[in-house]
Structure 1
Amino acid sequence: MAARSIFLSLTRNGRRDRSMLRSFSSSASRSEVIGEESSNVAEEEKGDGEDDDLKSRIFRLRLPKRSATNVLQKWVGEGHKVTICGLRDISKELRKSQRYKHALEISEWMVANEEFEISDSDYAVRIDLMSKVFGIDAAERYFQVLPPNVKTSETYTALLHSYAASKLTDKAEALYKQIKESNLSLSAITYNELMTLYMSVGQVEKVSSVVEELKRQKVAPDLFTYNLWISSCAAALKIDELRSILHEMSHDPGLHEDWVRYMNLVNIYLTSGHLVNSELNSLVESEKDIMQREWITYDFLLVLYGGLGNKDKLDQIWKSLRMTKQKMTSRNYLCIASSYLMLGHLKELGEVIDQWKQSVATDFDFSSCNRLLKAFAEVGLIEKATAFRMILTEKGCEVVDDLK
């Protein structure tokens, strides 16, 4: 979600709107939460010798069916103060840990307390959580009952993200049209959501039209925009357009140093000529005598097919690489690890980490893994970054302390 937060004034209409939203939330909870228990186990609320603060109490709820709402009410009943910033921080940590039901309960509690000024971002997060906990239909119904002044670029984008995650192309395109007609000021994130959807369903030819719309609206592309755009052109074998993108990127003042390295990899790949007048499939055959310089091509194909969601090709390319005589590099492991991570294949990701750690040719690179971890977080893929961090921790690896 974008960082913009415009606080809503608590007018009488605002109070009535919030009352309607609370009614909707309570109705959804009663009809859709199964097996909810009315109270928490005492030892989960407070452990011997443990920190006793609100965050600790909520994180000690071991099962999703335990109620974070009850913990909040008891905390306040004991005379403790609760701030909206504190609740947002706890909700963020819960989402990182994929504890969406408890995060949603905190969101509902925030809306129910009229002394809190709820921001656009709060509502956007709530839409995303509704989708994860109750499903797309519940998120849609919640969005529909939002008052007009809360239907902002952030809340629209949150619903678009839910459609994209579920690969609901028709609904996503209809909502995108509605967003454009609303004359809202958009960021690159909204366009990236639709581009991500097109890449995930194999409609790569539609990505360029989204980029064109982004430029017509004078919205600055971010690194994720460029990544999606490059992958779509490579998949469609649009070599000239790909080179044009790289030229544009080289003149972008906001370009990150790590992205320059990626650009160089792509340029080397194009210079090698493997994409020109050749089939991508021919590159994944098991070639025992592959040259080291050709491995750039394999690395880029790993990233490409990861973006296209083609796990079969990823498996095939990775198998080919491991059968060659050349020395494996940290770059090879990072490319396949990031691709499996993008697709959510955590079992395979864990196997790659094990293979890397056991490799006699290439030492395991902690710093490269941490850079990859931060890179996923920086482009907003917090859940995937969290999953990667958990796997690294399980494998006994040192990881960065926090994800921004």
Structure 2
Amino acid sequence: MMINRYRNRIPFINTSTFLRNFSTAVEESNIPAEAVPPPPPPPKESANEKRLYRRLSAIGATGGTVTQTLNEYTREGHFVKKVELERCVRELRRYGKYDHALEVMEWMDKRDINFSNTDLAVRLDLISKVHGVAAAEGYFNDLSPVMQNRNTYGSLLNSYCKLKLVDKALALFKEIEAKKFTTSLSFNNMMTLYIGLEQPEKVPPLVEEMKARKIPLSTFTYNIWMQSFSLLGDIEGVERVYEEITRDHKETCNWTTYCNLAGAYVKAGLSEKADSALKMVEHEMGQGRPSREAYHFLITFYSTLNNKEEIHRLCNVLKSSFEITSNVSYRIMLQALSKVKDLEGMKKCFEEWESNCTYYDTRVANVVVSGYLRHGMVAEAEVIFHGAVKKSKGPFVQTLALFMKHYLATQQMDLAFKCLETAATREESNWYPHIDNIEEFMKYYEQEKDVESAEKLYNCLKSLKCVDDKVYTLLLQIYIAAGVTNPDIR
């Protein structure tokens, strides 16, 4: 199957009413694993700053690069302050546009704009996300000794912990200790590492060590401490931490605290207590500036509790609380409506987004595709796709994965393979199928003794550079089942 790489099309596949193109997948949100405390409210943004950020955030739709956009903006006579650029970086990071955020910082660097210690740490973090941890290490090692400080060490440790690089994280933590750069953030990073490694029992001892050394416990420390007890199934431990923070450290208690408490109650099946905690979240939110993230958490929680009425109410409150409803907010709302099986509500919400969006984020459309496929509504999913392909440039690989999984689940193996084959020819990402999906293909081919299809799959996986010993073993089992003894197999 040939792909026209210069057009936003994937060729028609003449089987049934199979989809003709695809957009990015957004996995259904579960209860947030942890609620990260929001940064302090920034100064009121200027009209100039709003214009600049809107241009930068729209690059995905308008084309061009960050450098071109910033150069054009300054040629128009706009004077750009450092604080405005920093805020743009912060917002781009918040919405996952790490490559664009890094380009802003590189543009600043070329113009000899001085970076603070915090700026250096942010840049290191972005390099890790965009170019990988090796590039981040290179950047850190090239910094002068005075710039290898508490901030940049902390940023590098954060990268190691997020990527679960245990040995490197432990070694760097010891180095941070030796240099007396240790802060609550360093401990928080290690706690996050242990949660990611499914070793929550290692979190409480770290908290006790912080207390013994009189290192202040931040809001995040309390949140992740609560989470560790929740993962251990110790709801009494969760409540003890909550009582401590509200009794002794009320100043560190905010909406994220109540979100973590609600999450623990939901996990323990204590719906009434969870509902009470969510009411406290909303009360806490009313005490200050509205937070999109808080609304996102609330809507997601209520979808887990299957409370359709609260979802609709909060969606309306969210939309009325901000001048613009972001694409991320629409994704959250659509995921929640899909989860409670409100397909009509999901459809109306999606139509509202399509009519108002300034940037057609295919990930939003894909939430609806996923929702329809979950209910076996393939034709409806295709309709969403047709609209998306007319209005966006992709990327499309992840939606191929959505349809592939649907066809695997319904044993339509030819269609599933066509999805995989088409994805393999795209140049949009380094995507490759999960080993569980590969196993589904291979087990089916083994059962059918279908060597020809298995070899087609193998060649497709080779093109994606994801063949390993597991794949070879699965292929060998198919040869054995089919009685194939060709010496070329070796």
Bucket of the pairwise TM-score, normalised by the shorter protein: 0.5 to 0.7
TM-fit CA distance, 1:105: 0.6
Distance 1:388 1:134 in 2: 28
Q: 1:232 aligns with which of 220, 228, 243?
A: 228
Q: 1:366 aligns with which of 296, 299, 314?
A: 314
Residues 240-260 of structure 1: per-residue CA shift (max 9 Å, x gap):
876764554322242536588
Of the three residues 218, 221, 243, the one matched with 2:217 is: 221
For each residue in 1:121-154, what CA deviation from the matched residue of structure 2 results, as whole angstroms up to 9, or x when unmatched? 1111111111111111111111111111112222
Give deviations 1:148-201, integer Å, cap 9, x for gaps.
111222212211221222122221111111111111262x22221110110111
Q: Is the 8 A contact 1:3 1:121 kept in 2?
A: no
Q: What is residue 160 of structure 1 aligned with on the other side?
A: 157
Which structure ranks higher in relative contact order (CA pairs < 8 Å, sequence separation ≥ 6)?
2
Over 3 Å counting, the alpha-carbon distance change for 1:367 and 1:182 in structure 2 is: farther
Aligned to 1:48: none
User: CA-atom RMSD, angstroms?
Assistant: 4.8
Deviation of 1:98 after TM superposition, in Å, equals: 1.6
Pick from 133, 136, 160 the counterpart of residue 139 of structure 1: 136
SS in 2 for 1:254: helix
Residue 377 of structure 2 is matched in structure 1 by: none
Matched, 1:87 2:51: no
- The answer to whether structure 1 residue 208 and structure 2 residue 192 are counterparts is no
Q: Which residue identity does 1:56 align to in structure 2? A: R
Given that 2:150 and 2:182 are in contact with CA atoms closer than 8 Å, whether structure 1 keeps it comes out as yes
Check conservation: 2:161, 2:192, Cα contact below 8 A: yes
The residue identity in structure 2 corresponding to 1:154 is N
Query: How far does residue 387 in structure 1 lie from its aligned partner after superposition?
Result: 4.3
Aligned counterpart, 1:391 = 332
CA contact (8 A) 1:198 1:204 kept: yes
Separation (CA, whole Å) in 1 of partners of 2:190 and 2:141? 20
Q: Deviations over 1:203-260 (max 9, x none)?
A: 2232123223322442211222122223324544678876764554322242536588
Q: Could you say if the C-alpha distance between residues 258 and 107 of structure 1 is closer, same or farther in structure 2, counting changes exceeding 3 Å?
A: closer
Alignment CA distance shift 1:63-1:93 (3 Å): same
The match for 1:123 among 107, 120, 125 is: 120
Structure-2 residue corresponding to 1:356: 307
User: Does the 8 A contact of 1:164 with 1:172 survive in 2?
Assistant: yes
- For 1:199 and 1:173, the matched residues in 2 are separated by 15
Q: Determine whether 1:300 maps to 2:264.
A: yes
- 1:392 is displaced (CA, Å) by 2.7
Code of the residue aligned with 1:160 in structure 2: it is L
Paired with 2:125 and 2:272, the residues of 1 have a C-alpha distance of 44
Change in 2 beyond 3 A, CA 1:95/1:244: closer
Q: Choose from 77, 99, 102 the match for 2:100.
A: 102
Q: Which runs of 5+ in 2 are unaligned?
A: 1-36, 41-48, 280-292, 336-345, 353-490
**Structure 1 unaligned regions, length at least 5:** 5-50, 266-295, 305-316, 335-341, 374-384, 399-404
User: What's 2:13 paired with?
Assistant: none
Asked whether the 8 Å contact 1:124–1:158 carries over to 2, the reply is yes
Find the aligned partners of 1:74 and 1:239 in 2 and give their Cα distance.
Answer: 56
2:186 aligns with 190
CA contact (8 A) 1:2 1:154 kept: no
Output the CA distance in 1 between the equivalents of 2:236 and 2:51.
58
- Residue 124 of structure 1 contacts residue 155 of structure 1 at CA under 8 Å; is this kept in 2? yes
1:238-290 C-alpha deviation (Å, 9 max, x unpaired)? 78876764554322242536588689x7xxxxxxxxxxxxxxxxxxxxxxxxx
Cα displacement (A) at 1:85? 0.8
* Cα 1:368/1:260, change in 2 over 3 Å: farther
SS in 1 for 2:170: helix
CA distance in 2, matches of 1:71, 1:177: 43
Contact 2:235-2:264 within 8 A present in 1 as well: no
SS in 1 for 2:96: coil
Letter in 2 for 1:300: A
Cα separation, 2, equivalents of 1:353 and 1:244: 25
Q: Name the SS for the 1:133 alignment partner.
A: helix
Judging changes above 3 Å, is the alpha-carbon distance between structure 1 residues 94 and 244 closer, same or farther for their aligned structure 2 residues? closer
Partner residue of 1:150? 147
Of the two, which has the highest radius of gyration?
Answer: 2
